[in-house]
């Protein structure tokens, strides 16, 4: 896999990285959906029906993690090789359920995918959504002089960070603070995107690559 140019810095690069973080959060939610579907399939396995769903659910998870690998290389310049063992039958063949289970469950990459989707759902959003949250919160401070009055008149207690906005003067104090917060969001976007890609590589790359030996073909 060829690495991409890596994240761009500057205002445009920060905004693009923040948007990409939102896209990665969408994949995180999709991975959470796969985990829920797998849990349901395992629960139904005792009835027999769930056994038919588990292989396809695991393959759906592979599709999601493969997209994470491609984006890490394209967006952060951190390539992640595909770790899966090739299927031991021709595409035209119809393997038995037992053979599909043997192929999927004996592959270490299957379990690493599940671990990634679990950890990403628990902690990944901190890396992917922090930049856009900071930018949005910063913009709220910038527009505070225009919106403080309706908030206060509606009975709201309007605090912006450590500033208690009760009038025009305190509303304008929110503007430089908002600019600073938005700037931090822009600055952190490419950097947190890189951290997320490195985190993904630690779990989704072939184990032999992480040990320093050549990845399997």
Locate 49 and state its tokens: 């029906």
107: in domain: yes
5: in domain: no
* Residue linked to tokens 């990634």: 116
For residue 96, pLDDT over 80 is answered with yes
pLDDT of residue 208: 67
- What's the half-sphere exposure (Cβ side, CA atoms, 13 Å) at 82? 12
Q: What percent of the chain has pLDDT over 70?
A: 91
3: in domain: no
2: in domain: no
Residue 163's SS3 state is: strand
4: in domain: no
101: in domain: yes
Give the pLDDT mean for 46-60.
89
169 within 8 A of 149, measured Cβ to Cβ? no
pTM of the model: 0.85
215: in domain: no
Indicate the range of 62-71, 88-97, 154-163, 182-191 predicted with least confidence: 88-97
Residue 6 — very low, low, confident or very high, per pLDDT cuts 50/70/90? low
Which residue did the predictor score with more confidence, 1 or 18? 18
Cβ atoms within 10 A of the Cβ of 139, count? 15
pLDDT of residue 141: 95
Residue 152 — very low, low, confident or very high, per pLDDT cuts 50/70/90? confident
For residue 115, pLDDT over 90 is answered with yes
Highest mean pLDDT among 53-67, 87-101, 202-216: 53-67
Q: What percent of the chain has pLDDT over 90?
A: 68
Give the pLDDT mean for 141-159.
87
Indicate the range of 63-77, 132-146, 164-178, 198-212 predicted with least confidence: 198-212
* Residue linked to tokens 């995180």: 28
Query: Distance between CA 197 and CA 45 in Å, rounded?
Result: 35
For residue 106, pLDDT over 80 is answered with yes
Query: Distance between CA 197 and CA 89 in Å, rounded?
Result: 32
Residue 94 — very low, low, confident or very high, per pLDDT cuts 50/70/90? confident
194: in domain: yes
Q: How many domains does the chain have?
A: 1
Domain around 107: 10-210
Query: Distance between CA 1 and CA 131 in Å, rounded?
Result: 28
Angle at which helix 125-142 crosses helix 10-43, to 10 degrees, equals 130
Instruction: Provide the β-strand partners of residue 160.
Output: 163
pLDDT of residue 140: 95
Residues 6+ apart with CB under 8 A from 200: 68, 69, 72, 78, 80, 116, 120
């Amino acid at each position: 896999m060829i690495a991409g140019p890596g994240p761009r810095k500057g205002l445009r690069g920060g905004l693009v990285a923040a948007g990409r973080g939102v896209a990665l959060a969408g994949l995180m939610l999709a991975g959470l959906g796969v985990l829920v579907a797998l849990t349901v399939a395992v629960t139904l396995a005792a009835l027999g029906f769930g056994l038919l769903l588990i292989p396809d659910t695991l393959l759906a998870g592979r599709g999601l993690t493969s997209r994470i690998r491609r984006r890490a290389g394209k967006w952060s310049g951190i390539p992640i090789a595909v770790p899966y063992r090739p299927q031991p039958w021709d595409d035209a063949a119809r393997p038995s359920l037992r053979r599909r289970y043997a192929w999927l469950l004996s592959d270490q990459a299957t379990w690493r995918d599940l671990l990634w989707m679990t950890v990403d759902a628990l902690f990944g959003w901190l890396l992917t959504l922090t930049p856009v949250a900071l930018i949005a919160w910063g913009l709220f401070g910038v527009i505070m002089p225009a919106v403080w009055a309706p908030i206060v008149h509606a009975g709201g207690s309007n605090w912006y960070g450590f500033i208690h906005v009760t009038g025009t003067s305190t509303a304008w104090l929110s503007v430089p603070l908002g600019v600073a917060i938005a700037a931090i969001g822009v600055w952190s976007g490419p950097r947190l995107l890189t951290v997320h890609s490195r985190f993904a590589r630690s779990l989704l790359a072939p184990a032999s690559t992480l040990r320093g030996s050549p990845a399997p073909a």
